[in-house]
């Protein structure tokens, strides 16, 4: 059974700092990995999707890496801003049938202090 | 292009009542997925539907829960005889094709927060 762990559970940083969020998963048989952002009372916004054959994806100030063999992914946020404050979720999609059954971590709650 | 629309945003029910949660997928999306987020837990898959078909309901409790996606209208998640443990955020997501393609990420709605008193 796939398990996804995100560390730390919460993180507070001053504005402008670069930061890294970590995600680990127990079963390396994945189709892809997604990072989402969740704002309080809101839905999830997909930030980056990495296919299992890829090593990283970039979008603006965000860079996500994937090391499938070790079961790890990181989300790097450059030059953090107060608007980046949210909960960041990592989710993996299993390979084979049922690729829609994402397994989510519990998230890292990020606070960027002005 | 409106996103995934869920209503109501908040729903309060007393124990034993029925809860109906609605989800309209993004325009052009024919695949709908329901997830549940219990307090302090990660989101968990419940059910996957296409128009008029339940494809996979392996994540849905066997009793009291049902889902449909009719030919016309939104997808409905129905919870009968709610109990306190059903209190959670219920999220609907949609995709234009089966999730897994690199251009087919899930698009989530804002969720319905169900509180059972």
The pLDDT confidence band at residue B104, using thresholds 50, 70 and 90, is low
Residues whose CB is less than 8 angstroms from the CB of residue B103 and which lie 6 or more positions away in sequence, other chains included: none
B76 touches chain A (CB under 8 A): no
Residues whose CB is less than 8 angstroms from the CB of residue A21 and which lie 6 or more positions away in sequence, other chains included: A6, A11, A74, A75, A77, A88, A90, A108, A110
With beta carbons under 8 A apart, name residues in chain A contacting B54: none
Return the residue of B nearest to A94 by Cα.
Answer: B100
- The pLDDT tens digits along chain A (114 residues) read 899 999 999 999 999 999 999 999 999 999 899 999 999 888 899 899 999 999 999 999 999 999 999 999 999 999 999 999 999 999 999 887 778 889 999 999 999 999
With beta carbons under 8 A apart, name residues in chain A contacting B109: 43
CA dihedral angle for residue B110, residue B114, residue B115, residue B117, rounded to 10 degrees: 160
Concatenated DSSP letters for B45-107? EEEEEETTEEEE-TTS-SSSEEEE--SSS-EEEEE-S--GGG-EEEEEEEESS-BTBTT---E
Between β-strands A72-77 and A19-25, what pairing exists: parallel, antiparallel or unpaired?
antiparallel
The pLDDT confidence band at residue B105, using thresholds 50, 70 and 90, is confident
Residues whose CB is less than 8 angstroms from the CB of residue B61 and which lie 6 or more positions away in sequence, other chains included: none
* Per-residue pLDDT, A40: 87
Radius of gyration of chain B (CA): 14
Return the residue of A nearest to B43 by Cα.
Answer: A104
Shortest CB distance from A31 goes to which of B35, B100, B108? B100
Radius of gyration of chain A (CA): 14
* Per-residue pLDDT, B34: 97
A47, A35 contact by CB (below 8 A) = yes
From A45's Cα to the closest Cα of chain B, the distance in A is: 7
| Residue B1 in this model has a pLDDT that exceeds 70 | no
The larger pLDDT score, comparing residue B105 to residue B39, is at B39
From A94's Cα to the closest Cα of chain B, the distance in A is: 9
| Residue B103 in this model has a pLDDT that exceeds 60 | no
B5 touches chain A (CB under 8 A): no
- Pick from A111, A106, A26: nearest CA to A69: A26
The pLDDT confidence band at residue B106, using thresholds 50, 70 and 90, is confident
pLDDT digits (tens, 9 = 90+) for B10-60: 999 999 999 999 999 998 888 999 999 998 888 999 999 998 899 999 999
- CB B33 to CB A100 under 8 A? yes
With beta carbons under 8 A apart, name residues in chain A contacting B56: 98, 100-101
* Per-residue pLDDT, A77: 98
* Per-residue pLDDT, A43: 86
């Amino acid at each position: 059974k796939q398990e996804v762990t995100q560390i730390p559970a919460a993180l507070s940083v001053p504005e402008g700092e670069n930061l890294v969020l970590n995600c680990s998963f127990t079963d390396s048989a994945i189709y892809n990995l997604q990072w989402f952002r969740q704002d309080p009372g809101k839905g999830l916004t997909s930030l980056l999707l990495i296919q299992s054959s890829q090593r990283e994806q970039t979008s603006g100030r965000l860079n996500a890496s994937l090391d499938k063999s070790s079961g790890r992914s990181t989300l790097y946020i450059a030059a953090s801003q107060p608007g980046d404050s949210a909960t960041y979720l990592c989710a993996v999609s299993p390979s084979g049938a049922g690729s829609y059954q994402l397994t989510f971590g519990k998230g890292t709650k990020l606070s960027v202090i002005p | 292009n409106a996103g995934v629309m869920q209503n109501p945003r908040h729903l309060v029910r007393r124990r034993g009542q029925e809860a109906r949660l609605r989800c309209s997928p993004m325009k052009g999306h024919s695949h709908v997925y329901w997830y549940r987020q219990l307090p302090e837990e990660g989101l968990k898959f419940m059910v996957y539907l296409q128009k008029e078909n339940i494809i996979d309901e392996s994540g849905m409790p066997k009793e009291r829960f049902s889902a449909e996606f009719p030919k016309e209208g939104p997808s409905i998640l129905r919870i009968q005889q709610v109990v306190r443990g059903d209190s959670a955020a219920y999220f609907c997501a949609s995709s234009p094709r089966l999730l897994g393609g690199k251009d087919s990420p899930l698009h989530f709605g804002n969720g319905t927060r169900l509180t059972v008193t």
